[in-house]
Structure formats: C-alpha cells, structure tokens
Amino acid sequence: MKTETTRKFWRASGGLAGLALLLVILVAANIILGQARLRADLTEEKLYTLSAGSKNILQKLEEPVTLKLFFSRSAPEVPVNLKAYASQVEDLLHEYRMAGGGNLTIEILDPKPDSETEEFAQSYGVSPQTMDVFGQPVYFGLVALAGENEGVIAALDPRTDSLLEYNVTRLIHRVTHPQKPALGVLSSLPVLGEDPPAMGMMMPPRGGGAKAWLAFQEIQGDYDLRRIAPEVDAIPDDLQALIVVHPKDLPDATLYAIDQFVLRGGHLLAFIDPLNVADLESAGEQNPYSRPQTSSDLAPLLAAWGIGYDPATVLADMKSVSRLRGNNNQVEESPVFLTLREGNANREDILTAQLNMLMLPFTGTFEDLTQGKLTVTPLLSSSDMAGKISSMTAQFGGTAVNREFKPDAKRHPMAIRVAGEFHTAYPAGKPKATPEEGQPEKTDADADKPGLQRGQSTVILVADADLIYDRFCVEEMNFFGARALQPLNDNINFFANALEQVAGSSDLIGIRSRGEFFRPFDRVVALEEKARQQWQEKEKDLVAKLQETRDQLGKLQAQKDEGQKFILSPEQKEAITRYQQNERDIAKQLKDVRKNLRQEIEKLGLKVKVANIVLMPALVCLCGVSYGLRRKRRA
C-alpha cells in the first residue's frame, strides 16, 4: 500500500516537474525569439521591409547615429489610433537598428509633463501638440544625432505614413552629410516664392507675396537652393545642378548660359510645358477673346541635342483619363489630365521603378532624333491608346478633345533622361544682345568668341511643369500646430528622385514611398475602361448625327424665300423630330452602358462575397474533416 502511494506521489511530482520545465522552456524560447525578431513580410509591396536604399545608407555609416523617438505614450489624451501608429514607427526603427549594425542606436522616450525628457524634446525642436484645450501637450517627433549635427522631424503625422521610411532615412542622411549640394533654380514662375519689394517700392499685396511651391519647400533642408534670374547670361560654376521650370520666352543670352553649363558637365533638370496651368492661373483676368500664351520651350538646345518637342500640342491618352468636376458640377473624364500608373513608368530605371501613380495635366511629348549620338531613356510614357491634339483644343473640354482625338498606336515619352556628349546650340559663340528700341546697338566682347563645343553631361527633361505645382502633387496640412505635407500621388517622389539623380545620393532614389494599403480592384478598372470606350463610341455617334441634322437644316433654310425664313417647313420639322428621336435613343443606350457596368460590378462583388463568406469557411471545414478522417484511418 505504501509502495503504491509512493509510486503515485512520484508520478504526480514528475508530471508537475515536467509542466514546470515546459513552462520555463516556453518562457525562455519566447524571450529568445522576441529578441531575434523573426518575422516574414508577406505583403506584395513589402510594406514592412526596409528598401535597398535605406539599407545601403545604414551600412555606409562611418560614425555613430542616435535616433530619439519622443512619444507621450503615458498621456491619457493620446488617441488609440495614434498609439497604434507609434507602435508601427517603433517597429520600423527597430528594423533600422538591426540594419545599421552597431552604428545606430534607438532610444524611445516618454516626455512626461515637467520632466527633463520634456525639456530635451523642446530643446531639439519637437513640437508640442495639443489634443485637448485643458490637457497637457503631447509630443510625437523624431530626432537624429551624429556628432555635433542634429536633425528633427518635429511631428510624425499618420496621414503621411507613405513617406515615413523616406523621411527617416533622409533625416539620417542629413545629419551624416551636413554639406548641402548647391542647386540653381531658374523659372518664369514663383517656384521659390516672390522676393520682398525693395525699399522705396510699392507695398506688397495684402497677405504677402506668393509662397514657394511646396515641392521646393520640402527639399530646402537637403539642398542649397539659389535663385537664378531668367535674364542671366552666365550660370555659376559652383552649382552641382540646374533646375529649370517653365522657361517661358527666355532670351538668347540665358539659353546660351544653360547651353554652356551643360557642356562643362553641369547636370540639368528641366520642366517645359505646352500648356501650363500655374501660368494660366497666375495671369489673372485676361481678354476674354484671347487666351494668354502659356507654353514654354528650350527650342535651340533641344534642336542641337536631337530631341523633338512641339509646344503647340498636348497628349491625350484614353487609358490614363482623370475624373474631374466640370460644368454644372458634373464629373467628366478628361483624357488630357493624365493619371499615370505603374504601366506608364519605366520599371527598369531606379528613378521611376517604385512610382505607382502620377498626375500630369496638359503634358507634352518628346521624340528621340539623336540617331544614337546620345543615350535617351524614357522615364514616363503613354499607353498605346494615345495621340497628340492641339493645345487650343485641349482647353475646350472633353467633347472637343474627343472630336479631334485620333490614337496613333504609339507610346509617347513624357519624361526622358538624356546622357552623353552634348553638342552646343551656339557654335558661333555667344549671341549678340538685342538693343532696346531707341538705344544704340550693344557690343559684347565675348559675343564672337566660340564657347565650349561639346561636353559630357546628364539632362532630365519633363514635358509638364504642373507636375510639381501644389494643387497637382501635394497638400499642406496642419497637424496640431505642426506643418505636414500629404502627397496626393507620386509627383513629389518623382521630383525628389530626379534631384537625387542629378545632384544627390543615388541611395535615396532607391527608397520608395511605402506602398498604399488601399489597392484598386483591377477587374473593376478593366470594366470601367470597357464601359468608357462604349460610351465614347455612342457619344461620337450622337455628335455625328447632330452635325448631320444641322447640315440638313442649313440646306433647307437656304432654299427658303426671304418671307419664309422664320417659318419651319415640314421637312425641317421632320429633320428636328428625327434628330430628337436619335438623341433619345442614344441617351437610352448611354444609360444602358452605365446600367450594365453597375450590374457587372455588382456581380463581381457578389462573387467576392460568396468566396469570403461561403467558399473559404467551406474549405476550412473540408480540410478539418479530411484531417479527422485520415487520423481515424491511421488509428
């Protein structure tokens, strides 16, 4: 009896000891695996993985860098969604720490009210954010320290999550490379804002002059931007690159200066435009019977380089239409306001490989006429359902565009990179200055001296300057008192990548904006494209029949006597009745197109619901039953 009791005691003790040992093993394994941070990123766009450019910059760190994340996690005023975003930021910073080896240190700090940590946050420039009028300020910012250099993101905004990795990596790059590259900016538009009026001149308008475009405000922390006057006759030698935006009516002396800058090895990023919206809006009220000339060109330079460009035509693309609100507050699809997607970007080039969506209103096109003398790489191209129309027609809306549009089954480049040995556009030397009216002809000692004849360089040409205009690329927001920029598309990323390629770090180009969590339904987009084509066919049919009726009415009117001009003949009444009936028939057909589109989308949605609600649970149950039957057979 005693032996049996002893045996049961040791058996129970052994079981308890085994459970305790198992618990110790689980806790130890959890600690070890927690430190190892093993995980797999299964998202298609690798939303939770550092880009190659970030890893390259971190691996090249030659001095210790400390990232301090200030977040008031303990503050009761902080909403749940902001805490969730802060956890995402912390996870990303831990990825940076692992990629940076021993040269990157991460510190997570909670600046509680009236603490030394709060004083540190304020001294670094982290902005206090007020969640409640009577509550304590909340801090959510990032500071980077490298030796005596420091940089700060004053406020981390969840709405700019797509730029989080780029902003963090750029912050690290700033503090480790404090010397900013010098860039010249030449434009006929106030892209850097308007200069304050000189002493003795009229007062500025109420509200101040024009602010710098947000795209240029965003890059001021990375580059030394220097304003270049449109009437300049020489580009400074110490510039690393030159940005030209909407070069409208540049004098020959300025074109010559740009020509010589490229020939001596300077890099050029030029945005030219056949129809510039920013220029049109800044022109104010004009003569209603004549529109202002808003095109820009670098004609002598492009001709010398072998690049074809027509400032009188814009590109229409039926596969890249944008939905705009037009007359009578109705939404219409514009084929000249282009919304470019992945298929329009060169996926093999680092500058455009990670771009997903761009908007180009009234863009022009380029043509490679270099005959292989220069290396021309298309960066952005149209679809095969595109064609050129006159810029005048493009201003009169979708109906006028559809009437003139004829696709030519070609992919038209809208942005290109040209590299190699450039030839001068002024082989005879600097052009002579044109004398003003009533003034004697000016002499220039260097006018007859030939300048550089050829030189190696890189030029990026974009056939649309509105690409970086505020309303088409980015929105400025106020995030609890701190300024934040929310990209509307990848226009700002294209601009930043182009600058990095001509004047900055090539590694920063490889840092894509993090993918969007919202993904369009490809099948729905295809259905809408099919319906759009049917709609356009019906609309063209209606316009053709309307014109036919007008011509018939005009002939009948011409056959009348003077006394019968204002009386409708039976033939005219019949023609009008026939047209009205055709209009009703086509309107019904257009309505059927919309109805069929809705029905097909609803059918697709029903299939998705059935798959989610019925099919997937059925598959899980089937797998469970199959596993149970297999175990039963083995038993």
Q: What is the DSSP track for 583-627?
A: HHHHHHHHHHHHHHHHHHHHHHHHHHHHIIIIIHHHHHHHHHHHH
182 membership: H or E segment, kind and range: strand 182-187
The CATH number assigned to the domain holding 132 equals 3.40.30.10
Check residue 203 and give its pLDDT: 41
The answer to whether position 592 is within a domain reads yes
Residues 6+ apart with CB under 8 A from 391: 274, 275, 295, 311, 312, 313, 314, 362
584: containing domain: 523-634
Q: Residue 359 has what pLDDT? A: 93
What's the mean pLDDT in 405-415?
89
CA neighbor of 622 nearest in space, from 610, 614, 633, 634? 614
The predicted model gives 412-418 an average pLDDT of: 95
pLDDT value for 362: 93
- Do the domain assignments include residue 69? yes
CA distances 47 to 163, 166, 308, Å, are: 12, 13, 40
For 18-39, what is the mean pLDDT? 71
Q: What is the pTM of this model?
A: 0.62
Q: Hey, which bits of 406-543 come out as E strands?
A: 413-423, 454-462, 474-479, 482-487
Q: How confident is the model at residue 198 (pLDDT cuts 50, 70, 90)?
A: very low
Amino acid at 567: I
Mean pLDDT for 39-67 is 79
Place of tokens 């649309």: 464
One-letter identity of residue 633: R
Give yes or no for residue 373 having a pLDDT over 70. yes
Q: Is the pLDDT of residue 225 over 50?
A: yes
Contacts of 293 (CB under 8 A, 6+ apart): none
Final residue of a domain: which of 164, 189, 223?
A: 164
Distance (Å) of CA 443 to CA 20, 67, 73, 256, 439: 98, 59, 71, 16, 12
Residue in the structure block whose two tokens are 């329009």: 344
Q: What is the pLDDT of residue 155?
A: 87
> Which value, to the nearest 10 degrees, does the dihedral of the CA atoms of residues 607, 611, 615, 620 take?
180
Write a three-state SS string for 206-250: CCCCCCECHHHHHHCCCCEEEEECCCCCCCCCCCCEEEEECCCCC
- Domain end residue (candidates: 164, 193, 224): 164
Residue that finishes a domain, picked among 164, 183, 199: 164
Residue 354 lies in a domain: no
- Please count the CA atoms within 13 angstroms of the CA of 125 that sit on its side-chain side: 9
Residue range 355-371, pLDDT digits in tens: 889 999 999 999 999 99
pLDDT digits (tens, 9 = 90+) for 77-126: 888 888 888 998 998 899 899 888 889 999 999 998 888 999 989 898 89
Averaged pLDDT for residues 218-245: 91
Query: Residues 622, 629: contact at Cβ < 8 Å?
Result: no
For residue 634, is pLDDT > 90? no
Q: How confident is the model at residue 605 (pLDDT cuts 50, 70, 90)?
A: low
Task: Match 């298609």 to its residue by tokens.
Answer: 44
Out of 58-62, 216-220, 306-310, the most confident range is 306-310
CA–CA distance, 314 with 341 (Å, rounded to integer): 19
Rounded Cα distance, 110 and 72, in Å:
5
Place of tokens 């304003």: 227
Nearest one of 282, 283, 295 to 211, comparing CA atoms: 282
In a domain, 303, yes or no: no
Residue 2 has pLDDT above 60, yes or no: no
Query: Rounded mean pLDDT of 4-13?
Result: 65
Q: What is the pLDDT of residues 251-287, one digit of tens each?
A: 999 999 999 999 999 999 999 999 999 998 877 555 4
Q: What is the CA radius of gyration of the chain?
A: 33
Read off the pLDDT band of 560 (50, 70, 90). Answer: low
Of 205-219, 220-234, 390-404, 482-496, the least confident:
205-219
- Enter the tokens of residue 567: 């009386």
Q: What integer pLDDT is reported at residue 205 of this predicted model?
A: 42
232-246, 298-312, 386-400, 548-562: least confidently modelled range: 548-562
**Could you give the CA distance from residue 557 to residue 551 in angstroms, rounded to a whole number?**
10
CB-based contacts of 263: which residues, under 8 Å, 6+ apart? 422, 424, 451, 452, 453, 454, 455, 457
Domain count for the chain: 2
> Does a structural domain hold residue 240?
no
What are the residue ranges of helices labelled H in 265-373?
277-282, 299-305
pLDDT reported for residue 440: 53
pLDDT of the residue at 300: 95
Q: Is residue 11 over pLDDT 60?
A: yes
More confident residue, 631 or 562: 631
Region of residue 279 (left: phi > 0; alpha: psi -120 to 50; beta: else): alpha
Please give the mean pLDDT across all residues of the chain: 79
Q: In DSSP terms, which residues pair with 422 in a beta bridge?
A: 455
Domain assignment present for residue 424? The answer is no
Amino acid at position 27, single letter: V
At 517, the pLDDT band (50, 70, 90 cuts) reads: very low
Instruction: Locate the DSSP E strands across 263-412.
Output: 267-271, 307-308, 313-317, 322-325, 331-334, 337-340, 358-361, 367-368, 375-381, 386-390
pLDDT at 69 over 90: yes
Q: What is the pLDDT of residue 311?
A: 94
Q: Can you tell me the distance from the alpha carbon of 480 to that of 135, in angstroms, rounded to the nearest whole number?
A: 13
Q: Looking at per-residue confidence, does 601 or 282 come out higher?
A: 282
Q: Is residue 524 predicted with pLDDT exceeding 70? A: no
For the chain, give the percent of residues with pLDDT over 70: 69
Does residue 132 belong to any structural domain of this protein?
Answer: yes
pLDDT at 191 over 90: yes
Report pLDDT digits (tens) over 128-182: 877 665 667 889 999 999 988 999 998 888 877 777 888 899 899 889 988 888 9
User: In this structure, how many other beta carbons lie within 10 angstroms of the beta carbon of residue 211?
Assistant: 15
Whether residue 543 has pLDDT greater than 90? no
Beta-sheet strands, E only, within 15-148: 65-71, 104-109, 128-129, 138-146
Side-chain-side CA neighbours of residue 162 (13 Å): 21
**What pLDDT does 546 receive?**
60
Looking only at the bridges linking them, the beta strands covering 454-462 and 413-423 are: antiparallel
Comparing C-alpha atoms, which of 451, 335, 346 is closest to residue 403?
A: 335
**The tokens 């090539």 sit on which residue?**
506
In this predicted structure, the answer to whether residue 375 has a pLDDT above a threshold of 50 is yes
**pLDDT given for residue 355 in this prediction:** 86
DSSP 465: S
What is the C-alpha to C-alpha distance for residues 408 and 398, in angstroms, rounded to an integer?
Answer: 19
Question: Residues in the chain, how many?
Answer: 635
Confidence category of residue 208, pLDDT binned at 50, 70, 90: very low
In a domain, 446, yes or no: no
What pLDDT shows up at residue 255?
96
Between 164-176 and 80-99, two packed helices, what is the crossing angle to 10 degrees?
A: 50
HEC sequence for 386-443? EEEEEHHHHCCCHHHHHHHCCCCCCCCEEEEEEEEEEECCCCCCCCCCCCCCCCCCCC
Above 80 in pLDDT, residue 514?
A: no
pLDDT tens, 435-483? 555 555 555 555 566 678 888 899 999 999 999 999 898 877 766 555 6
Give the pLDDT of residue 307. 96
The H-or-E segment that residue 568 falls in is none
End-to-end CA distance of the chain: 36
567 contact partners, CB below 8 Å, separation of at least 6: 560
